[in-house]
């Protein structure tokens, strides 16, 4: 078997467009999902019995059903109940919801890992919970959240390939199109495997640098 680089070179524009779409979908739904996840985590921890149970059920729901099936439910089943979304809209909703469930668990674990004394010290100083959360708790959990969120981000970038099943024109969908036209699965799928790998490696590298920048108290302790 021989590897024909020309096929990639001839189709690089479709691949680039697919990659751009993959990045675009992730770049929007990951932050949205994370913010939603923070809200779900807070609801679960401080929302009282009813809202807490709701948040818990939300997390379980999205974590216990395969992402592929979630996408199918949203795209093929939801229209029967009057919710009709374009493939791209469905992609954003599905990715955000899925992200939020995992982000909520990361967030909850992180907040629970901080000694209660930190929150108590904040209260004792007359601070309200929003201030304590923003100024005391969140900055401290960044060091914990960042590595786990990097893992989550990477798996979501990979999961986004599933969106090709509902004709979202992202990287995998573009690749399948090229294969359909050129009958060259070896070249095309090898190429997108490398592209996905490059993309996730880039994310790892960027967050590693961010990790170091966001933790001044840990660094200066090492210096002294």
| Interface ranges with other proteins (CB under 8 A) | 115, 117-118, 120-121, 123-128, 131, 135-136, 139-140, 215-217, 220-221, 224
Nearer to other proteins, 4 or 120 (CB): 120
Place of tokens 């992202």: 170
| Least Cβ distance, residue 115 to other proteins (angstroms) | 8
Nearer to other proteins, 132 or 191 (CB): 132
Instruction: Give DSSP secondary structure letters for the chain.
Output: ----HHHHHHTHHHHHHHHHHHHHHHHHHHHHHHHHHHHHHHHHHHSHHHHHHHHHHHHHHHHHS-HHHHHHIIIIIGGGGT----HHHHHHHHHHHHHHHHHHHHHHHHHHTS-HHHHHHHHHTT--HHHIIIIIIHHHHHHHHHHHHHHHHHHHHHHGGGGGGGT--SHHHHHHHHHHHH--HHHHHHHHHHHHHHHHHHHHHHHHHHHHHT-HHHHHHHH-
Nearer to other proteins, 66 or 216 (CB): 216
| Least Cβ distance, residue 141 to other proteins (angstroms) | 10
| Least Cβ distance, residue 118 to other proteins (angstroms) | 6
Which pair of structure tokens corresponds to residue 50? 């009813």
| Least Cβ distance, residue 65 to other proteins (angstroms) | 37
CB neighbourhood size of 43 (10 A): 18
Nearer to other proteins, 119 or 176 (CB): 119
Nearer to other proteins, 48 or 117 (CB): 117
| Least Cβ distance, residue 198 to other proteins (angstroms) | 34
CA-based R_g, the chain, Å? 21
| Least Cβ distance, residue 111 to other proteins (angstroms) | 15
Nearer to other proteins, 87 or 143 (CB): 143
């Amino acid at each position: 078997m021989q590897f024909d680089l020309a096929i990639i070179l001839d189709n690089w524009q479709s691949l680039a467009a697919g990659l751009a779409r993959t990045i675009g979908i992730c770049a929007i739904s990951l932050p949205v999902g994370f913010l939603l996840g923070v809200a779900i985590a807070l609801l679960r921890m401080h929302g009282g019995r009813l809202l807490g149970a709701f948040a818990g059920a939300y997390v379980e729901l999205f974590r216990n059903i395969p992402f592929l099936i979630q996408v199918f439910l949203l795209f093929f089943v939801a229209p029967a109940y009057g919710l009709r979304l374009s493939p791209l809209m469905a992609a954003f909703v599905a990715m955000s919801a899925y992200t939020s469930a995992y982000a909520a668990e990361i967030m909850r674990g992180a907040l629970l890992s901080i000694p209660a004394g930190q929150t108590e010290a904040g209260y004792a100083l007359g601070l309200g919970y929003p201030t304590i959360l923003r100024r005391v708790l969140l900055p401290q959990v960044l060091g914990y959240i960042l590595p786990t969120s990097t893992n989550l981000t990477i798996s979501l970038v990979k999961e986004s390939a599933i969106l090709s099943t509902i004709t979202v024109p992202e990287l995998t969908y573009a690749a399948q199109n090229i294969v359909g036209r050129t009958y060259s699965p070896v070249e095309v799928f090898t190429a997108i495997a490398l592209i996905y790998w490059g993309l996730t490696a880039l994310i790892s590298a960027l967050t590693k640098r961010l990790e170091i920048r966001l933790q001044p108290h840990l660094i200066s302790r090492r210096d002294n």
